Amino acid sequence: MNRHYNGLKTTLLFGAIWALFLGLGAVIQGGRFIWLFALLGVASTAYTYWNSDKLAIRAMRAYPVTREQQPQMYAIVEELSEKAGQPMPRLYVSPTASPNAFATGRNPQNAAVCCTEGILHLLDKRELRGVLGHELMHVYNRDILTGSVAAGIAGIITSVAQMSLFMGGRQRGGNPILLLAMALLAPLAASVIQLAISRTREYDADQTGAELTQDPLALASALRKLEAGTQRAPLAPEPRVQSAAHMMIASPFRAKDVSSMFATHPPMGERIQRLERMADGRQPGIERY
């Protein structure tokens, strides 16, 4: 059993963000338009989920690669996909020196794995295998669906909250103070919950990825290098990159540019410690080897 109950945490966080969504709808026009907000949320989520691979690949300006172009990356993904009994995803490389990787796609049949040129130069074969195992498990765990739903709901909450500020003056029978409070605080709360979901899924991908590779220390070593590498060569926190940042194995931004509350990833030190406990047999999930 997963000692950290990441699945339960994700469920509870989803419950919180849906409660926030329904609460916002209830205070606007007495809840008469909540069905419309729900439909908008579903439509937004469906579009993001269905096109997640194209959107992320385009954001990082990645190009497809073949076995001949990236033999080591191809061989590792082919081996791990076969071991997991899943289809081989499409492979891409992003032309950036910042070391990172991400996986995207609505299901294993429509998945893509992308590495930056920086990570391919930084990691050795064993470390790269640990990273790619982590990324493949994001797909197999359906984390792209989870992240798309969370982002879609958070986005529509923000849109509805902004709209409610304009509607507030014409609303009858409502509490204007409550409406103003919800309009201002709901987007902030939605963003915090969305990012908490993202951090929880990273812990899960670390654990299940280490189980797939049977080598948690390889991923721990890779994370140490990535922590230093992304600080030496960070990406600018522009909208294009921010849209894909939550999918990456390490935050691509300088630590000082992102507060802990709004971080897309859990602390790197905690992730490394959990992997080391797995290797020592002190955390369920893998036998000591």
Alpha-helix residue ranges (DSSP H) falling in 168-264 = 176-213, 216-232, 239-245
Radius of gyration (Cα) for the chain, nearest Å?
Answer: 20
Count of residues for the chain? 289
Around 34, how many Cα atoms within 13 Å sit in the side-chain half-sphere?
14
DSSP code, position 248 = B
Q: Assess whether 227 carries a catalytic annotation.
A: no
Whether 286 contacts 214, CB under 8 Å = yes
Are 55 and 81 contacting, i.e. CB atoms less than 8 angstroms apart? no
- CA–CA dist 179, 168 (Å, integer): 7
Q: Single out the catalytic residue among 78, 117, 135, 202.
A: 135
Nearest partner of 254 among 233, 225, 223, 270, judged by Cα: 233
Q: What whole-number distance in Å separates Cα of residue 6 and Cα of residue 201?
A: 7
Spatial distance between the Cα atoms of 190 and 150, rounded to a whole number of angstroms: 9
Which residues are part of the catalytic machinery? 135
